[in-house]
Amino acid sequence: MKIDVLTLFPGMFSGPLDESIIKRARQQGLLELKIHNLRDYTQDRHKTVDDKPFGGGPGMLLKPGPIFEAVEDLATETTRVILLTPAGRKLNQAVVREMADCAHLLLVCGSYEGFDERVRSLADDELSIGDYVLTNGALPAMVIIDAVTRLLPGALGDDESALQESFSHGALEYPQYTRPASFRGMNVPEVLVSGHHAEIAKWRSEQAALRTKERRPDLLNAAMENEKALQKKD
């Protein structure tokens, strides 16, 4: 997979993308990742990327010119261009799976008060990582890169791991334990050391449902709505 990132702050990406799973995926050739400075696509000697909004108002907006130049230079027919903005649809594991199936992503990081509206004509999608405001789109881009990389075949070493994690099946992950079996008076549930795989699977399923109901009932509600929608289609 290839991912290009267009940002005003390329220095923010040093470190997080050179460690752990992302580093290994890059070394193994599973992920080709490049960070591009938006200022490299300006046409004036001051490398201007922003200007005041028409009609007045606080802050500055990213100008359309440099972004159009960059996208036209970096994107091909197979590229999925994604704007990172609070106005986008919220990122979840289903969206991550969509992106992991793409051959090439181009992540365009917002900054200041956002994009000139005409920039949206370039985008195939707009994403937000949550209902809060960040200084710029660099951190959301890193979150997306990390989440997508984990789903690339071979990235985790054990591809089964990605299938068992929270949100992979619309629910939170079941509780897990490791050695020692008893720690400060807290014991591992007996079923997990029983060796009875069918009972273990049943316990895990029940615990995942219980944890989701207690902590994220919205996930269960969404699953029920999806099921109803599928039944109507049938």
Quote the tokens at residue 110: 């917002």
Residues 90 and 179 in one domain: no
Please, what sign has the CA dihedral across residues 11, 16, 22, 28? positive
Residues 137 and 195 in one domain: no
Nearest residue to 96 (alpha-carbon basis) of 130, 143, 138: 143
| Number of helices followed by number of strands (H, E) in the chain | 7, 9
Mean pLDDT of 122-145: 96
Task: Output the average pLDDT for the chain.
Answer: 91
- Side chain identity at residue 179, one-letter code: R
Domain boundary among 99, 122, 149: 149
> What pLDDT, in 10s, does the model give residues 134-180?
999 999 999 999 999 999 999 997 655 555 555 556 788 899 999 99
> What pLDDT, in 10s, does the model give residues 34-59?
999 999 999 999 999 999 999 999 99
> What pLDDT, in 10s, does the model give residues 17-36?
999 999 999 999 999 999 99
* Owning domain of residue 205: 166-233
Domain boundary among 117, 149, 181: 149
pLDDT band at 221 (very low <50, low <70, confident <90, very high): confident
Residues 92 and 197 in one domain: no
Phi, psi (5° rounding) for residue 125?
-160, 160
Peptide bond before residue 180 is cis, with ω within 30 degrees of 0: yes
pLDDT of 12 above 70: yes
Residues 100 and 208 in one domain: no
CATH number of the domain to which 181 belongs:
1.10.1270.20
The pLDDT assigned to 220 comes to: 80
- Is the residue at 156 inside a domain? no
Q: Determine the Cα–Cα distance for residues 180 and 175; give it in Å rounded to an integer.
A: 15
Residues 135 and 182 in one domain: no
Sheet-wide strand order for 2-7: 32-37, 2-7, 104-109, 79-90, 125-128
| Contact predicate 22/145, CB 8 Å | yes
The pLDDT assigned to 157 comes to: 73
Mean pLDDT of 115-141: 96
Q: Determine the Cα–Cα distance for residues 152 and 159; give it in Å rounded to an integer.
A: 8
Name the domain count of the chain.
Answer: 2
